[in-house]
């Protein structure tokens, strides 16, 4: 995916989609602090990042937040792997990261943005997400392995 970098600033923090700045190992270390990605391999994450718009949240040079958007850049986007380092939680950085994702120039005019969460529904509701599917039925097919 070739997406031009977007950068956002808030005090001493920066959110950026600059692929040259985002280190796979740093993102993997953050994701390993979560319940959903503890066993994610480096190779899988590198491939996922190459095919997504990836957002890094930085305190100076340190990666303290990460998120990916899987999208066709025209009609649909799926948010995944949204994480803030434990010691930076409670400062509004997750919500700010989400707002940066919503403001990204290539993610405007989409018909639908979706996500799944087990423990952050209140955060996503503040960003305008709802559980109402408008008569749609959510289905999924999981890899049997």
Round the average pLDDT of the chain to a whole number and report it.
93
Q: Does any domain span residue 2?
A: no
Range of the domain at 83: 7-126
- Quickly state the pLDDT bin for 136 (edges 50, 70, 90): confident
38-79 pLDDT, tens per residue? 899 999 999 999 999 999 999 999 999 999 999 999 999 999
The Cα angle at residue 76 between residues 96 and 41, in degrees rounded to 5: 70
CATH of the domain at 97: 3.40.630.30
Q: Does any domain span residue 13?
A: yes
For residue 3, the model assigns a pLDDT of: 85
Q: Does any domain span residue 145?
A: no
For residue 138, the model assigns a pLDDT of: 76
How far is 102 from 94, CA to CA, in rounded Å? Answer: 12
Where in 11-138 does DSSP place strands (E)?
A: 13-16, 53-59, 62-71, 76-84, 112-114
Q: Does any domain span residue 132?
A: no
Q: Does any domain span residue 136?
A: no
Query: Would you say the C-alpha torsion 18, 15, 94, 77 has a positive or negative sign?
Result: negative
Please count the structural domains in the chain. Answer: 1
Q: Which is higher by pLDDT, 138 or 34? A: 34
For residue 120, the model assigns a pLDDT of: 87
Q: Does any domain span residue 108?
A: yes
Are 67 and 95 contacting, i.e. CB atoms less than 8 angstroms apart? Answer: no
Q: Does any domain span residue 34?
A: yes
Are 68 and 57 contacting, i.e. CB atoms less than 8 angstroms apart? Answer: no
Are 5 and 18 contacting, i.e. CB atoms less than 8 angstroms apart? Answer: yes
**Helix, strand, coil distribution of the chain in percent, nearest 5:** 30, 25, 45
Query: What integer is the mean pLDDT of 80-108?
Result: 96
Structure tokens at 102: 């919503």
Q: Does any domain span residue 1?
A: no
Supply the pTM of this predicted model: 0.92
HSE-up (13 A, CA, CB side) for residue 127: 22
Query: Would you say the C-alpha torsion 40, 56, 34, 122 has a positive or negative sign?
Result: negative
Quick check: 1 pLDDT over 80? no
Query: DSSP character for 121?
Result: H
For residue 122, the model assigns a pLDDT of: 87
For residue 121, the model assigns a pLDDT of: 87
Phi, psi of 75 (to 5 degrees): -130, -25
- Quickly state the pLDDT bin for 119 (edges 50, 70, 90): confident
């Amino acid at each position: 995916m070739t997406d031009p970098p977007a950068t956002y600033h808030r005090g001493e923090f920066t959110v950026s989609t600059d692929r040259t700045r985002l280190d796979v190992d740093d993102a993997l270390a953050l994701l390993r602090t979560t319940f959903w990605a503890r066993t994610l391999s480096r190779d899988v994450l590198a491939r996922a990042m190459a095919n997504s718009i990836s957002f890094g949240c930085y305190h100076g040079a340190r990666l303290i937040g990460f998120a990916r958007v899987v999208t066709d850049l025209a009609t649909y986007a799926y948010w995944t792997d949204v994480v803030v380092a434990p010691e930076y939680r409670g400062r509004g950085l997750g919500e700010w990261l989400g707002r940066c994702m919503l403001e990204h120039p290539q993610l405007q005019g989409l018909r639908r943005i979706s996500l799944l969460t087990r423990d952050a529904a209140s955060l996503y509701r503040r960003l305008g997400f709802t559980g109402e599917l408008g008569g749609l039925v959510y289905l999924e097919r999981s890899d049997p392995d």
